Amino acid sequence: MSTHVIEIENLSRRFGKKQALANVCLSVPEGAVFGLVGENGAGKTTLLKHILGFLKPQSGTVRVFGLDPVADPPGVLSRIGHLSETRDLPPWMTIRELFEFTRAFYPKWDPVYAEELRMMFELTMTQKVSTLSRGQLARAGLLLALAHRPPLLVLDEPSSGLDPLVRKDILDAIIRTVVDEGRTVLFSSHLLDEVQRVSDQVAILDQGQLLLTSPLDEVLVSHFRLTVSFAEP
Ligand code: ATP
C-alpha cells in the first residue's frame, strides 16, 4: 500500500468574494514527482501555502506527514524544502551568508551536500543576491531548499521567468535529487508540457477547482483547451 505524504480533503478558501480554492481533494504519494498545473490566479500558490501551514483552512483538512501544518509548524516545515514564487532572498547577502543564515535554522543542513549543489549550480560564495540573474536566483533558492535534505520539496513555479534551457536545467536538477534520494516533490507551473515531461502525476487547477488528476488523458486535456491556455506568450 502506498503512503501519502500530503493528503488534502475538501479544502476551500475564499479571499473576500474570490473563491480561490473550492473543495480541493489531493493525495501526493511518497517518492512521486507531482506537478500542479494552472493559469495565473488558478489557486496554485494558495494551495501550496496551506500545505506549508502559511494559511489556515477555512474548511477542509490538510495533512502533511500525517500532521496538521498549522498546529505543528516545526514538525512539518523541518521536513520541507520550500522555494517560494517570489524567491524572497535578502538582496544584501552573499551566497556564503545565505548558507550560514539558512544553516542556523536547519539542524540537518549538510555542508558537504550544500557545497556539491553550489558547484553544480555554478554559484560563487562571494556573489551577492542583488547581483544574481533570475536563473541564478532560482538555483540559489533551490540550493537552500535542498541542503537540509528534506524528504518533501514544495516548489512554487521553480522555472517561472527562466529561459527554456535554464528551465530544463532546474527541473532536471530537481528530478536528479529525487531519483537519488527518494524524495517527494510537489511543484507548480503554468506549462503543461514541462510538467508532463518530468512528473509522475499531474493535477490541474482551474479557478480553484481541481479539474483532473493524472494519469493524464490527452482527450480530457484537449477538451479543457489546456495546451492552448497554458502556452507561454
Ligand atoms: P499565479 O500563477 O499568478 O501565481 P496562482 O495559481 O498561484 O497564480 P493564487 O496566487 O493562489 O494563484 O491566487 C488565486 C486567487 O486568489 C487569485 O484570484 C488571487 O488574486 C487571489 N488571492 C490570493 N491571495 C490573496 C490574498 N492574500 N488576498 C486576496 N486575494 C488573494
User: Which atom of ligand 1 is closest in space to residue 43's alpha carbon?
Assistant: 11
- Nearest Cα neighbor of 80 from 43, 112, 108 is 108
Ligand 1: centre distance to CA 190 (Å):
14
User: Which atom of ligand 1 is closest in space to residue 16's alpha carbon?
Assistant: 29
Determine the Cα–Cα distance for residues 33 and 16; give it in Å rounded to an integer: 33
Cell of 208: 480553484
Give the residue whose CA is nearest to atom 4 of ligand 1: 40
What is the reported pLDDT for 98? 92
- Span 15-74, pLDDT tens digits: 999 999 999 999 999 988 899 999 999 999 999 999 999 999 999 999 999 999 999 998
Question: What residues does 36 pair with on adjacent strands?
Answer: 188, 203
Q: Where are the beta strands (DSSP E) in 71-162?
A: 80-83, 152-155
- Span 111-145, pLDDT tens digits: 998 998 899 888 999 999 999 988 888 889 888 98
Q: Which among 12, 37, 45 is the best mutation to test ligand 1's pocket, defined by most ligand atoms within 8 Å of the CB?
A: 45
- Span 189-227, pLDDT tens digits: 988 888 888 888 889 999 999 987 765 555 455 445 554
Cell of 109: 543542513
Task: Give ipTM to 2 decimals.
Answer: 0.97
As for ligand 1, residues whose beta carbon falls within 6 Å of it are: 15, 18, 20, 38, 40-46, 85
Determine the Cα–Cα distance for residues 191 and 157; give it in Å rounded to an integer: 10
Give the residue whose CA is nearest to atom 9 of ligand 1: 43
User: Which atom of ligand 1 is closest in space to residue 205's alpha carbon?
Assistant: 6
Q: Which among 18, 49, 83, 189 is the best mutation to test ligand 1's pocket, defined by most ligand atoms within 8 Å of the CB?
A: 18
Supply the pTM of this predicted model.
Answer: 0.88
